Each structure stands twice: as structure tokens, then as C-alpha cells.
Structure 1
């Protein structure tokens, strides 16, 4: 449990109130990771802007797939649960469960699998990567912008997941996430 003290929903004002309100609208409560990260609301707003800039070109589906792969490689319970929930709007639960258990055997395209493998390497072995890693994505049809955005999405997940882990933020389990899907998302961790 984190030692970071955060205000209750009825005590926040200004930018922090806006940040909490977005979670309350989406989840019905301010998530523990939101509460802790909004201790620095300027950085949190910058984080949101960075993610919007990545998603605007990469697309939500690709962003979420990259995020799920990076979160798995980082052993991030919080990010796997939160983004598993978000991915439900893009992918049906049956395929999402298959992706969560083993994305390599989930009916994804070769390009999507390669993108997710690349994301894992970004967060676990970036110092060992060479142009061959990016070239593989290019050979599968990704543009330079998409390769950069995939790299940024995975790197951003590394930043956020590691921050939550370092601060011992207890992960929330979204109440609308079915038990079976929750188990699939957490099984690889």
C-alpha cells in the first residue's frame, strides 16, 4: 500500500478535481493510480497529453495492444487490469481473453503480433535493440511514424507502470471487468 497521501473526492479542487472527475465519470470512482499521480497534476496533465498525441495517429486498438504487451512484460497488475477494461470497447471478450493469455495464439495479424513483441523488447531490452527490430515492423507495413508511436507507447507504459510499482500503488480491479477476463489478464504475470 502506498504511503502517498491523497485527498478524498469531495476535497479536491482545480486540476485535481478535473482529473478525479474524469475517472468518476468513467469508473464511478477515482482510481488509486489516478489519485497518486494527481499529487503532481501538471505532470499528470502532461502524461495525458503525451498519450493523446500517441493515440491520435497510432489508433486506439494498436495503442491498447502495445500497452497490454508492455504491461505484461513489466508485470504490471494495475496496467493490465485498467487497459484490459479499456480494450473491451475495441475487442470482444473472447478474443481479448485469448490475447491476454497468449497474444501469439489469439488470431491477431502477423503485424499486430510483431508490434506486441516489439513493445515487450522496448520495456525489457531496449539497450539490446538494433535497427533490425524496427526493420521487422517496416517489413510488415508500419510507417516510420507508426514505429515511433509504438516505441513511445511502450516506453510511456514503462514509465507509468514503473512509477506505480515504485510508489507501491495498490491496483484497482474495475468492477465491470468479468472474473474470467480478469483471470486471463493476470495469468501471465
Structure 2
């Protein structure tokens, strides 16, 4: 089964890779294709997600806000894997589909702070050198502190790094998404690598 351009590492998994697999099995019932890829550098995966967790805490990101930031980031980057994963995690499938399809952030169901975050994420992905003081001021007007703005920006940049590694090395979204992703989300993700073959 083709899940990425690289096979899983040979031999016994490292303790970090085994933990990746065990966490997937406990939470999902299967090992994600991304985890099979990151098993080659599982310690780096842990360090990356440790830093993402620090950023989420510093920016006061709950699950909904993390989902909004990640879907805005992944869809703008054209990453189908994270779009499907987080579009599925968001509690409102219609909101998720709107975020995944939007080229801007005139999305129903977002409050002012969420709209400002999503707009900022898209700008950072599209052209980090094209951002302006006025863009940062929009975040401040929505209630974010300077420290939170740095944490949000770092969160987006780290998610871009994670998506870039997955996409460049051919990681395909897990076959399970055919069954677990809401129909609206499946329809919205018409970009990036296709879902992997295999049973759902």
C-alpha cells in the first residue's frame, strides 16, 4: 500500500516511534500514514509538537481555535492531509467546509478574534514578506496581545513546516477519512494528495 514515498523504518521501532504508533492506536484505532513517515525522525516529531503545544498554550488556543488556525493554514497551503484531519475534528462540519473552501475569511460562524486569526494565517502562508503593520493591528483590535500574536504566528509557521514535510515526502491522507470525514469536508478538500487506497 502506497502511503508516502518512503517505507516505514526497518527493524524494531525506536521508543519514540513506538509511542507515536501507540498514541494513534489508542486515539484512532489505526496508525496514521504521517506517523509511519515521521517514525524515521520520531524524536524531531516530538520536539516539533512540544513546541506547537507551547505556542498553543501561550496564545490561549483551545481546540476550536487550533482547528480554525490549522484548517486556514492547511487549505491555503494546499495540504489535503491536515485539512481532512482538522476539518474532521472541528465540531461544526459546515464551518469546517467553509474554512477549507474560503480564499478569504468572510466565513459565517467565526467571531471577530477567530476571523482575524484565520485571515492572519492565510497571509502568513501566502506571503510572509507581504504582511503589513495594519494586518498586525487587526489582530490587536481583535484582542490579541503582542505575545499572543508571536505565539500564533509561530504556531502557523510550525504547522506549515509539518505539512511541508508530509507533502514533500508524499504522505497521503489516511484511508479512514473516507468513512470518518463529514461529507462537506470531503467535498471541500479538492486539492493536495488524494486519500490513500485501502480499507476504511
The TM-score, its normalising length taken from structure 1, stands at 0.86
Unaligned runs of 5+ in 1: none
Aligned with residue 177 of structure 1, among 177, 181, 184: 181
- The total of aligned residue pairs comes to 184
1:58 counterpart residue number: 61
Distance 2:119 2:46 in 1: 29
Instruction: State the Cα distance separating 1:7 from its structure 2 match.
Output: 4.6
SS at 2:127 equivalent = helix
Distance 1:101 1:124 in 2: 15
Distance 1:106 1:139 in 2: 20
Instruction: State the Cα distance separating 1:114 from its structure 2 match.
Output: 1.8
1:17 counterpart residue number: 18
State the superposition RMSD in angstroms. Answer: 2.2
Distance 1:176 1:69 in 2: 20
Distance 2:56 2:154 in 1: 10
Cα distance 1:73–1:100, how it changes in 2: closer, same or farther (>3 A)? closer
Task: Select the structure with the greater relative contact order (CA < 8 A; seq sep ≥ 6).
Answer: 1
Unaligned runs of 5+ in 2: 193-200
1:74 counterpart residue number: 77
Q: 1:58 touches 1:149 (CA, 8 Å); kept in 2?
A: no
Instruction: State the Cα distance separating 1:154 from its structure 2 match.
Output: 1.1
Listed as ranges, the matches of 1:1-189 within 5 Å are 2-7=4-9, 11-56=12-57, 57-87=60-90, 91-102=91-102, 103-173=105-175, 174=177, 175-184=179-188, 186-187=189-190
Distance 1:61 1:180 in 2: 18
Cα distance 1:6–1:120, how it changes in 2: closer, same or farther (>3 A)? same
Cα distance 1:34–1:141, how it changes in 2: closer, same or farther (>3 A)? same
The TM-score, its normalising length taken from structure 2, stands at 0.82
Q: 2:73 touches 2:121 (CA, 8 Å); kept in 1?
A: yes
Cα distance 1:51–1:33, how it changes in 2: closer, same or farther (>3 A)? same
